[in-house]
């Protein structure tokens, strides 16, 4: 019996040693990404203007990196908090841990004022922080990786122009084993789109949809991976802290369950309906329908860009997937 216990003990020690070696290997070998490039961006007024357009109306960086008022429809950004950070993604929303959008203003103590341009570029195109830590892919860096070099530089230029806000965002805390898995997710390097190809409207539409990260929300996932054959078919669930559940729409051209019957004009107008501030000004009842879709931000997209996205969407394979858009707290609690 003593011999059996010794063997079991030795096996336990070996297993612990193997596990410890695995943790050390993950900690010091991953993420496998290139070093931050040595770049200094010449921040012209034109580049800043382009960056403001992208960060507020296409890639909507300002959406997560600001304070949003979810007492109003679609959670418009609270003026004066642009870039402040602090948006939280936690267990109440189905995340494997607690993750915060960091302060991206130029404050040198709590923001990214001391980061180099190359470190900022690497962060949002490969998902690795300044110190080499992986970023949770709620920030769609795999989509941003295809951003043209000029557009990426434009966003950095605009971010650098934001008023510094001194606001210390807590450190993100992934659960185990996500804290280890997370290190393996960032990989490779940016793969910028050739800007000349965007002269083709269809190509530009796909590009804009990609850097707007539409597929991140409108494609259902299983265990963090997109479900094969369900590209843009909707049904991705977003849980609100009050228990309500929002599901993304089917934006494939299926005529029964998607947007196959929408005209280009109707598609553009769907966004432009929220361009005026009063469209999201009213306070909502606690159990009223709400959405995380930042309509007021996307509403500022140029009509030509919205039309290009529509044109691309009409080329996507239709997918019959009927989505129950919203379950209020009372409906969720009764299930």
Q: How many residues can be counted in the chain? A: 335
- What pLDDT score does 10 carry? 53
Residue 317 backbone dihedrals phi, psi, to 5 degrees? -65, 130
- What pLDDT score does 328 carry? 87
Give the span between the Cα atoms of 329 and 326, in whole angstroms.
Answer: 10
- pTM exceeds 0.85: yes
Q: CB within 8 A of 50, min separation 6: which ones?
A: 150, 151, 154, 158
Q: Tokens for 262?
A: 């929408």
- What pLDDT score does 333 carry? 45
CA atoms within 13 A on the CB side of 86: 16
User: Per-residue pLDDT tens for 10-68?
Assistant: 554 444 444 444 444 444 454 678 889 999 999 999 999 999 999 999 999 999 999 99
Q: Tokens for 158?
A: 């605009």
Give the span between the Cα atoms of 163 and 136, in whole angstroms.
Answer: 26
Report domain extents, the chain. Answer: 45-192, 194-335
Give the span between the Cα atoms of 326 and 140, in whole angstroms.
Answer: 24
Q: Is the peptide bond preceding residue 304 cis, with omega within 30 degrees of 0? A: no
Three-state secondary-structure class, residue 72: strand
Beta strand 237-239 pairing with 225-226: unpaired
**What residues of the chain score a pLDDT lower than 50?**
12-28, 30, 332-335
Angle (deg, nearest 10), helices 149-161 and 45-57? 90
Q: CB within 8 A of 276, min separation 6: which ones?
A: none
Rg (CA), the chain: 22
Angle (deg, nearest 10), helices 149-161 and 117-126? 120
- What pLDDT score does 75 carry? 92
- What pLDDT score does 82 carry? 96
Do residues 192 and 155 make contact, with C-beta atoms less than 8 angstroms apart?
Answer: no
């Amino acid at each position: 019996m003593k011999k059996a216990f010794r063997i079991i003990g030795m096996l336990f020690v070996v297993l612990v040693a193997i596990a410890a070696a695995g943790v050390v290997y993950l900690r010091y070998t991953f993420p496998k990404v290139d070093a931050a490039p040595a770049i200094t961006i010449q921040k012209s007024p034109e580049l800043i203007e382009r960056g403001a357009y992208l960060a507020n109306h296409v890639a909507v960086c300002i959406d997560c990196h600001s304070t949003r008022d979810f007492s109003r429809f679609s959670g418009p950004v609270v003026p004066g908090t642009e870039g402040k950070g602090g948006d939280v993604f936690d267990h109440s929303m189905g995340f494997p841990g607690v993750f915060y959008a960091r302060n991206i203003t130029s404050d040198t103590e709590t923001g990214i004022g001391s980061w180099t341009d190359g470190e900022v570029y690497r962060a949002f195109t490969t998902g690795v922080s300044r110190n080499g830590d992986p970023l949770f892919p709620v920030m769609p860096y795999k989509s941003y990786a295809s951003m043209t070099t000029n557009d990426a530089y434009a966003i950095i230029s605009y971010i650098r122009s934001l008023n510094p806000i001194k606001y210390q965002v807590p450190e993100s805390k992934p659960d185990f084993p996500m804290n280890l898995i997370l290190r393996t997710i960032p990989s490779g390097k940016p793969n910028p789109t050739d800007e000349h190809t965007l002269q083709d409207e269809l190509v530009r539409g796909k590009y804009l949809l990609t850097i707007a990260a539409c597929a991140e929300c409108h494609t259902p996932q299983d265990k963090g991976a997109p479900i094969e054959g369900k590209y843009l078919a909707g049904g991705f669930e977003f849980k609100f802290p009050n228990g309500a559940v929002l599901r993304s729409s089917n934006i494939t051209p299926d005529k029964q369950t998607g947007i196959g019957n929408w005209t280009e004009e109707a598609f553009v107008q769907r966004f432009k309906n929220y361009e005026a501030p009063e469209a999201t000004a009213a306070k909502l009842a606690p159990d009223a329908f709400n959405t995380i879709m930042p309509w007021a931000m996307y509403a500022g997209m140029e009509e030509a860009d919205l039309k290009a996205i529509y044109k691309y969407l009409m080329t996507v394979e239709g997918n019959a997937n009927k989505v129950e858009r919203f379950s209020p707290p009372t409906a969720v609690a009764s299930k």
